[in-house]
Amino acid sequence: MSTWIDLGQKVIIVTGGASGIGASIATNLHNNNATVVVCDLRTNDDVAAYSDHFVQCDITSKASVEAMVAEVVEKFGRIDALINNAGVNRPRLLVDFYGEKPEFEATEADFDFITNVNQKGPFLCAQAVARQFIERQEGVIVNISSEAGVEGSAGQSIYSATKAALNGFTRSWAKELGQHNIRVVGIAPGINKRTNMNSDENYAALAYTRGLDPDHIDTDYASSIPLRRVGEHEEISDLVSYLVSSHSSYISGTTLNITGGKSR
């Protein structure tokens, strides 16, 4: 199949590609002829239909990440791009000032869990993959950030802080690695169609932190967006395919908002 964005022969790793936005990214890359490796804690029944290889990997473990990268290089001979997509969230208040649900006040365990996956994970993956990129003097890293990392987010301060850190990685790695012909780009999605991350459990927690009715949170969200609708996963994955392609060869060190007009 010939497409405008032809990623033929590019070997691309998508972390967290077994679900939600990551599955959409992997599918989009696959449809644009890339060789797609999904790396995730767990697989699913469909992953073989939209990828060329699955590696079980915990991105918070250096040993697991290094084994994953070695496996990909062994199987495909090289890596052309990394999509740092895997992420987690637990909506929590800094202090439970409502005094009704102490379980929705942030704990040290919440901090460690969210920070390990969202900040340490992309660091470990980028480091292991960048060693390969530097050898070949070529490569692209796309960090999936969030609007929350730019704007802050009530009830999601730890998540927001990890995404702000990811934006710092994007700017800094682009400065370090540009001389090796390596681009680093971020994408900051706003509110999207629901995924496991926006599970009923997480929405109930988020609604509590904001004093909202959980049954109305979807419609409240949509009305806060200038385009008056939440984003589609394909709108993010189309952007990822563009950013790993040669059409975006001069874009690096920046994080692009994809928020229906909501973010500054």
Active site residues: 159
User: Does 160 sit near ligand NAD (CB under 6 A)?
Assistant: no
State both tokens at 178.
């540009």
Question: How many Cα atoms sit within 13 Å of 197 on the Cβ side?
Answer: 19
Q: Out of 14, 34, 59, 174, name the contact with ligand NAD by CB under 6 A.
A: 59
Q: Which amino acid is at 204?
A: A
The pattern of x and - marking residues 183 through 222 that bind ligand NAD according to CB under 6 A reads ------x-xx--xxxx------------------------
Please tell me the distance from the alpha carbon of residue 210 to that of residue 92, in angstroms, as a whole number.
10
Q: Which helix (H) or strand (E) holds 142?
A: strand 139-144
Q: Which amino acid is at 161?
A: A
User: Does 114 sit near ligand NAD (CB under 6 A)?
Assistant: no
* Residue 252 Cβ vs ligand NAD, minimum distance, rounded to whole Å: 20
Residues 6+ apart with CB under 8 A from 16: 22, 39, 40, 59, 85, 86, 87
In terms of CB distance, is 22 or 139 closer to ligand NAD? 22
Q: Which amino acid is at 76?
A: F
User: Does 47 sit near ligand NAD (CB under 6 A)?
Assistant: no
Q: Out of 11, 14, 19, 157, name the contact with ligand NAD by CB under 6 A.
A: 19
Tell me which residues touch ligand NAD (CB under 6 A).
15-16, 18-22, 40-42, 57-60, 85-88, 117, 121, 144, 146, 189, 191-192, 195-198
